[in-house]
Structure 1
Amino acid sequence: MDSERPVPVPARSPTVRLLMGVVGVLLLGFYLLLAAGGYLLLSALVRGATRADLLWTAGFVVLFTVAFGLSSYRFGTARLLAALDATELQPAQAPELHRRVATYAERLGVDPPAVAVARMEMPNALAIGGVVGTATVVLDGRLFRLLDGPELEAIVAHELAHLETHDSLVQTLAFSLVRTVVGFVALAVLPLSLLLRGFSRGRAWIRGDPLGTASRPGVADSLRAAVARAVMGVLFVLTLAVRAHSRRREFRADRRAAELTGRPVALARALRKIERASHPASGLLATLYVHAEEDDPLTRLLSTHPPMDERVERLVRMAEERGQAERPFHVEVR
């Protein structure tokens, strides 16, 4: 295509070309110095450090990562509650629900959470907090009309199961660790990135094309892009691992809720009703929804929740193992 052809370099006087060549050489030298300095610094840190120093540094990094994750979790939880504008549901307003919450919380060995009602982007429930301060189970108000008693109870039990293992905190810490690892990878390849950047910028100025529009990418440009893709690849793989762990947590919470209530089918039916009453959404709570578009393989890999069909099928098998042959989750919600 014509739009992809290099733009011709405008004619310049010999003096201008000479000055641009000098700038190119100076830029190349500057980046070479930066790259060499970065390499020597990293090399000195690694070679000069004793095993104890490396262990101390690793411990400090882990401690900092955990502290940063805890801080992000605490303030993120407060921001999320404020954004939801949830209203706490008092025991006098729903005594049976609070009694069930207290019973299940005692069985799980967690402090009874507060129960709040909010208007979310679609019918849903989530459990947040609990590590510092009181946890809160937030229910969309439409769930009280959409679900019957056993179904609502099963959804609440599912959220309490997340509190038992502090799943939201684990996920926050995992993403903090991912950012830290990727940061170290980026730091390790920084000298090479600076070197390649210097060759790319210096070459452009020496050719009289400081914007790089008049020539095709050179070897340095291609190598720099490959390094960037490698760093992004590390980030992508680690993100996939964290998301896969999140999906396993969902299966565990489903199983734990079914054990607490003794009604796997009630949870399966509740999930189906929420799915059919909901539509894929984006925004504040998109990654927390029990429903997600499951047709795209990449979407499934990046989803925090497993496919709904698989969740329901597991619950049905659990019910059948218990001799509960009822399969009411096919009920249509209008």
Structure 2
Amino acid sequence: MSRLAFRAAAAVVGVALLAIYLTAALFVADALRFLWAARPDLPVLLALLAAVAVGSAYLSYRIGTAQILASLDGDRLPRDRAPDLHRRVDALAALMGVDRPELYVTDARTPNAFAVGGGPGGGALVMDRSLFRILSAREVEAIVAHELAHLEGNDGLALAMADGIGRALVGFATAIALPALLALAGLAAGSAWIRGRPGDRSGPFARLHRALASGLFAAFVLATLVARSRSRKRELAADDRAAEVTGDPIALARALRRIERAAEPSWPFAPLSTYKRTENPAERWLSTHPSIDERVERLRTKAESQGPTRRIPAGPSRRAAGRGRSRW
């Protein structure tokens, strides 16, 4: 194909791309104008937007909680199989004023415990069986208290709401900016083809498109960072609450350290593992949990300041429980 023929074909493609993108941008803009013209009064509109954001976040939380429990590869732990653990959960739940959660045990690849649900009904407390092999009874109790603190504060719902509302706000902003994004994308692609340089994205329209898209992505990242920061604060608050109700911060510190050691993989590609320690600021900012070192240091400081206390009656030792009916 001669150069002149190529330029003519490229120009036709560029004009077609420009027409397609601009038509789509006009269609979206007309739809937005229609919605804006049909809007209620501003206070009602803001209330509706807030209701949509909150409602979608709440629905996502409830669906996610149900999916977690439905997909859980574990079993309910009846009272006759672990009476001492149930007694400790009963005592902690009564002391903290929360509805008693259902207990589940699962076989995961790493030792872990988490709470889902909360509020009326009590939610569920899921614990991996390996925890009962690597932790003492007091350390298990400290982990249970930490998870009950999440249920007490309804942290799962609060974090889901914060994350959902942030994403909804970014979604609204993206919808408003969509006509401009489409128009700039069409102008960038169309002008590049018309100039006979289809792969060139250095023009002013392309730069404006990248700037607008980057701004929206930065807003999404900011919303994510705010939600993750809130999550880390709730983890520290749950540590403090567990130390308060058990009167034994060191037990929780020991439990966290033992779980960290047990979770560190021993296979050759361990540096690529999720459980590796990191000094990367971006990874720390995006983490839902503070570092184990930070949590352990805070708990040790708390133990030094409050002295020896004990609020929950001590039960049988892990060895004694192993000789009895408890089969963790």
Whole-angstrom distance in 2 between the partners of 1:83 and 1:293:
29
Q: In the TM superposition, what is the alpha-carbon distance from 1:20 to its structure 2 partner? A: 4.3
Q: CA-to-partner distance for each residue in 1:294-333, whole Å, 9 max, x for gaps?
A: 32211111111111111111111111111249xxxxxxxx
Q: In the superposition, relative to structure 1, how do residues 179 and 132 fare at CA in structure 2: closer, same or farther (>3 Å)?
A: farther
Do 1:293 and 1:299's aligned partners in 2 also have CA atoms closer than 8 Å?
Answer: no
| Structure 2 residue aligned with 1:65 | 53
Are 2:2 and 1:11 aligned?
Answer: yes
Q: In the TM superposition, what is the alpha-carbon distance from 1:23 to its structure 2 partner? A: 4.5
| Structure 2 residue aligned with 1:254 | 239
For structure 1, which runs of at least 5 residues remain unmatched after alignment? Answer: 1-9, 282-288, 326-334
Do 2:101 and 2:121's aligned partners in 1 also have CA atoms closer than 8 Å?
Answer: no
Q: 2:216 aligns with which of 218, 228, 231?
A: 231
| Structure 2 residue aligned with 1:296 | 280
Are 2:150 and 1:162 aligned?
Answer: yes
Q: CA-to-partner distance for each residue in 1:156-181, whole Å, 9 max, x for gaps?
A: 00000000111112222222112211
Q: Which has the higher contact order (CA 8 A, sep 6+)?
A: 2
Q: In the TM superposition, what is the alpha-carbon distance from 1:22 to its structure 2 partner? A: 4.1
Are 2:307 and 1:323 aligned?
Answer: yes
TM-score for both structures, normalised by structure 2: 0.83
Q: Which amino acid aligns with 2:285?
A: L
Q: In the TM superposition, what is the alpha-carbon distance from 1:24 to its structure 2 partner? A: 2.8
Q: In the TM superposition, what is the alpha-carbon distance from 1:194 to its structure 2 partner? A: 1.7
Q: In the TM superposition, what is the alpha-carbon distance from 1:39 to its structure 2 partner? A: 4.4
SS class of match (2:125):
strand
Q: In the superposition, relative to structure 1, how do residues 172 and 28 fare at CA in structure 2: closer, same or farther (>3 Å)?
A: same
| Structure 2 residue aligned with 1:28 | 18
Do 1:74 and 1:132's aligned partners in 2 also have CA atoms closer than 8 Å?
Answer: no
TM-score for both structures, normalised by structure 1: 0.81
Whole-angstrom distance in 1 between the partners of 2:10 and 2:276:
54
For structure 2, which runs of at least 5 residues remain unmatched after alignment? Answer: 267-273, 310-328
Whole-angstrom distance in 2 between the partners of 1:43 and 1:72:
29
Q: CA-to-partner distance for each residue in 1:154-212, whole Å, 9 max, x for gaps?
A: 00000000001111122222221122111111122222212211212221332345xx2
Do 1:31 and 1:198's aligned partners in 2 also have CA atoms closer than 8 Å?
Answer: yes
Q: In the superposition, relative to structure 1, how do residues 43 and 95 fare at CA in structure 2: closer, same or farther (>3 Å)?
A: same
| Structure 2 residue aligned with 1:273 | 258
Q: In the superposition, relative to structure 1, how do residues 110 and 226 fare at CA in structure 2: closer, same or farther (>3 Å)?
A: same
| Structure 2 residue aligned with 1:3 | none
Q: 1:194 aligns with which of 171, 179, 182?
A: 182
SS class of match (1:127):
strand
Q: In the superposition, relative to structure 1, how do residues 76 and 158 fare at CA in structure 2: closer, same or farther (>3 Å)?
A: same
| Structure 2 residue aligned with 1:305 | 289
Q: 1:121 aligns with which of 109, 121, 127?
A: 109
Q: CA-to-partner distance for each residue in 1:55-98, whole Å, 9 max, x for gaps?
A: 22322232233332233222322322343311111111111211
Q: Which amino acid aligns with 1:275?
A: E
SS class of match (1:265):
helix
Do 2:118 and 2:152's aligned partners in 1 also have CA atoms closer than 8 Å?
Answer: no
Q: Which amino acid aligns with 2:51?
A: L
SS class of match (2:264):
coil
Name which of structure 1's ranges 88-97 and 62-71 shifts more when overlaid on structure 2.
Answer: 62-71
SS class of match (2:103):
strand
Whole-angstrom distance in 2 between the partners of 1:11 and 1:101:
81
Do 1:292 and 1:303's aligned partners in 2 also have CA atoms closer than 8 Å?
Answer: no
Identity %: 45
| Structure 2 residue aligned with 1:332 | none
Whole-angstrom distance in 1 between the partners of 2:10 and 2:131:
68
Q: For this pair of structures, how many residues does the alignment match?
A: 302
Q: CA RMSD in A?
A: 2.6
Whole-angstrom distance in 1 between the partners of 2:288 and 2:147:
15
| Structure 1 residue aligned with 2:203 | 218
Q: In the TM superposition, what is the alpha-carbon distance from 1:264 to its structure 2 partner? A: 0.7
Q: In the superposition, relative to structure 1, how do residues 219 and 11 fare at CA in structure 2: closer, same or farther (>3 Å)?
A: farther
Name which of structure 1's ranges 169-178 and 145-154 shifts more when overlaid on structure 2.
Answer: 169-178
